[in-house]
Chain A
Amino acid sequence: MKVLVTVKRVIDYNVKVRVKADHSDVDLANVKMAMNPFCEIAVEAAIRLKEAGIATEVVAVSVGSASCQEQLRTALALGADRAIQIDTPDNPESLEVAKLLAALIQAEQPSLVITGKQAIDTDNNQTGQMLAALLDWPQATFASAISLSGEQLEVTREVDGGLQTLSLSLPALVTTDLRLNEPRYASLPNIMKAKKKPLEVKTPAELGVSLKAHTRLIKVEAPAERQAGIKVDSVEALVDKLRNQARVI
């Protein structure tokens, strides 16, 4: 079975995010970029399926400018077999990404698509769901466990009340949550081999998709600085503050 996994280039989670002086966007100039941590989990899940003999091929896909090839190389170093960059300007919006991926998936015909549940830059948490809807595939979001029995994919989901287990028929789409796995470090020999694995570039035109903006970014502001906390001297005082000041109980 072929598994397609998506990879997004985002600001490295270690970097302290700064807002541009004119508030037009986050300042990404010369900032260290990395693979979105939820995508790392998705890649790891796909590779484990391959190592378990379930997946026969793992294809990593990223949407963005040529710079995202760096993250595709990382996916290849981690164990993906080949990579496809869909060449667009940086930061395409979720629906556009979903449309491009849907078109690619029609051509690639994978049995399973694994995406991160969200990207840590804009935290939209919607591409996977949109993609499943466009494909009219079953979807299981926020996965914390995946297993395959026959043609049925069993996915454990993390939901507010606890865990929910779904059974999906393939082809299907899964988005990963934090606890699905702990991604490995790429090994040196695999970093070397990644250079020689195929990386293909496709344009939206080749996929028959024309990009269109549906949303407009108006303003980006840094979150308000957290105020220092205070110590209360009794449980009563705490309850009083929660009730009358914070108004949460």
Chain B
Amino acid sequence: MSDYKHPYRDALFVLNELVDFDKLCAEHGFADANLELVSAIFDEAGKLGSEVLAPLNRVGDTQGVSLTEKGVQETAGFAEAYHQFQESGWPSLTAPEAFGGQNLPNVVGTAVNEIWHSANLSFALCPMLTQGAIESILHHGSDALKEAYLSRLVSGEWTGTMNLTEPDAGSDLAAVKTRAVPNGDHYLITGQKIFITWGDHQMTDNIIHLVLARLPDAPFGVKGISLFIVPKFLPDGSRNDAQCVSLEHKLGIHGSPTCVMSFGDKGGAIGYLVGEAHKGLAYMFTMMNHARQGVGLQGLSIAERSYQQALQYAKDRLQGTNKDGSRYPIIKFPDIRRMLMVMKSATEAMRALALVSAAEIDRAHGSEGEAAQTHQNRVELLTPIVKGWLTELAQEITYLGTQIHGGMGFIEETGSAQHYRDARILTIYEGTTGIQALDLVGRKTLVNKGEHLASLLEEIGQTLSALEASGQFPVQAKALRASLADGQAARQLLLDKSAEDAALAGSISVNYMMLFGYLCGGWLMSQAALKAQALLEANSGDPAFLNAKLTTSRFYAEHLLTRTGSLLAVIQAGSASILALPEDQF
């Protein structure tokens, strides 16, 4: 069975060399944090991930969850693991000190979350959703609500859920029908929510649901939705009128209960308004960057887990025979090596982009005025790429992980198939790939006339100049030059042609998003090569790791970065053949 080990060396390399972590901490109000501390944090989180959470990953997959008389029963062993996780203080990592948090940077939270998601994606969804609830209350809740709920969510004593989706309101949240009626100091909530991750379980004494609902006088559409806190147990200890009425049977993440939640079956669930009426959806948007980057990170995590398992198998599986009759492992075959290198290089590029983007959130929050806006623009731009590209790439990586196992990969006992199945949700929830891509072409490119993207491309151009100036990376330089030109051409085409062809943006969007994903990956893998070379020349660091980084960067340039060429060709084909067939021909 598969063991998981946190790739702390690569995570520390990215933090130190690409994020410039100590500088970030010094400049943006995290005086207590530095790389040495993060290294100690990685040690302990890595141990808990490998020794406690990872062994439960397969148990969650095979045993799943069940609906019993007392509610949802999580997988055996998850509650003990949760208590260990909670008592060790991990839920409090990035929360403010005022509510018992450790106030560490978002980028550290992201790097540590990689461990939880790799070790056990289903388990890690629970604290991830709690994080969403914390953010909602922290940024929009009244002092009374903060007082009542925040500390216990931050400590992990209670968990949180996000109740957005309804049967008729998925990507189109404006269609939310759940109703909230004022009743004294609170509201009575009635309606049904679906796809509620960790909507019920027995691991904690209480669960705090954040629920989108409409007030009786609410305007039609997106501007009529409000956000409510609906606790499972009310402050007086009585059970609220909110329960899980059924569980979904899913392709993957079996250890994570996906609940149909019913509010108000017995007259109305008691809820408390968060912030102002009718602003619920706007509040959701303020948390969106964080949540979407979080799901992108899950793409990295599952890819890393799949890679580790495939690598171990490739080293162990004997399928070649030497002349003397002795046998050798499949890692010696070039095509297995190709697949492992795709997995390794993609995973490292994903980690670099995930952490660099997470650090931009810290820089945006920790800066003032124009600098804050510049960083915020970068966050807005990178978020759909992190969510869309990382999760799409995770499909390919987990596919390869199974492929390397051959027939054994198709057998469930091997464990590789679980990663492949678990990864599949990632391109769907928290905004599908299509939604991310629309966000990137629309709000993130067209709305600002491509300016934010232009500044990113300019920065990539600077990395290209540095590559060319060094003269040591002709392969990377050639690939990055071509890919950067592809990116510039795609941007220009969208800006020039979308006015005359209303269907263009929606037709090219996913390929456009993937193109910029590969380009960002190439940009950071090029930076990684420059930094690794400098360290090697200074005789600093682990030469084996740094030389591997150089090789991996080169492989990425040759095998993944070059994909932008064919993506551009598809983008240039535009909308014509996509929409040429009339609907009745389908």
Seen from chain A, the residues whose Cβ lies within 8 Å of a Cβ on chain B are 14, 29-30, 32, 34, 70, 73-74, 77, 185-192, 194-195
Contacts and interface: CB of A to CB of B under 8 A. Distances in A.
Contacts of B37: 191-192, 195
A70 B102 CA distance: 21
Nearest to A76: B40
B21 interface: no
B544 A186 contact: no
A185 B542 contact: no
B47 A187 contact: no
B40 A73 contact: yes
A185 B81 CA distance: 12
A190 to B, nearest CB: 8
A192 B102 contact: yes
Contacts of B544: 30
B84 A194 contact: no
B5 interface: yes
Contacts of A77: 40, 44
9 contacts: A30-B542, A77-B40, A77-B44, A185-B44, A185-B48, A186-B44, A188-B90, A190-B89, A195-B32
Nearest to B85: A185
A194 B32 CA distance: 12
B80 interface: no
B32 A189 contact: no
Contacts, number: 47
A122 B43 CA distance: 23
A10 to B, nearest CB: 14
A191 B40 contact: yes
Contacts of A191: 37, 40-41, 44
The interface centre, meaning the residue of B5, B40, B41 with most chain A CB atoms within 10 A of its CB, is B40
A29 B32 CA distance: 30
A194 B93 CA distance: 16
Contacts of A34: 43
B545 interface: yes
B87 interface: yes
B552 interface: no
Contacts of B545: 30
Contact of B89 (A14, A30, A189): A189
Closest 9 CB pairs of A and B: A30-B542, A188-B89, A187-B88, A187-B89, A189-B89, A186-B44, A185-B48, A191-B40, A185-B88
A188 B40 contact: no
Given A30-B542, A30-B544, A30-B545, A189 B43 contact: no
B32 A192 contact: yes
B92 interface: yes
Contacts of B40: 70, 73-74, 77, 191, 194
Contacts of B41: 188, 191
A188 B92 contact: yes
Interface in B510-552: 542-545
Given A73-B40, A77-B40, A195-B32, A189 B542 contact: no
Nearest to A195: B37
Contacts of B5: 14
Contacts of A195: 32, 37
Interface string B34-51: 000101110110011000
Contact of B87 (A30, A70, A187): A187
Contacts of B87: 187
Given A70-B39, A77-B44, 17 more contacts: A29-B542, A32-B8, A77-B40, A185-B44, A185-B48, A185-B88, A186-B44, A187-B87, A188-B89, A188-B102, A189-B89, A189-B92, A189-B102, A190-B89, A191-B40, A191-B44, A192-B37
Contacts of A70: 39-40
Interface string B444-479: 000000000000000000000000000000000000
Contacts of A32: 8
A95 to B, nearest CB: 31
B40 to A, nearest CB: 5
Contacts of A185: 44, 47-48, 84, 88
The interface centre, meaning the residue of A32, A73, A187 with most chain B CB atoms within 10 A of its CB, is A187
B88 A188 contact: yes
The interface centre, meaning the residue of B5, B43, B542 with most chain A CB atoms within 10 A of its CB, is B43
Nearest to B87: A187
A227 to B, nearest CB: 14
A74 to B, nearest CB: 7
Contacts of B8: 32
A105 B32 CA distance: 33
A188 B104 CA distance: 11
Nearest to A194: B40
Contacts of A14: 5
A100 B87 CA distance: 37
B15 to A, nearest CB: 16
A77 B89 CA distance: 13
B394 to A, nearest CB: 26
A190 B47 CA distance: 16
A12 B87 CA distance: 25
Contacts of A192: 32, 37, 102
A123 B40 CA distance: 26
A196 to B, nearest CB: 9
Nearest to A188: B89
B22 to A, nearest CB: 14
A185 B50 CA distance: 12
A188 B115 CA distance: 15
Contacts of B93: 188
Given A187-B89, A188-B88, A189-B102, A74 B43 contact: yes
A127 to B, nearest CB: 25
A247 B195 CA distance: 66
A162 to B, nearest CB: 30
A151 to B, nearest CB: 34
A29 B546 CA distance: 14
Interface in B537-586: 542-545
B105 to A, nearest CB: 13
A14 B8 CA distance: 14
Contacts of B43: 34, 74
Nearest to A29: B542
A185 B52 CA distance: 10
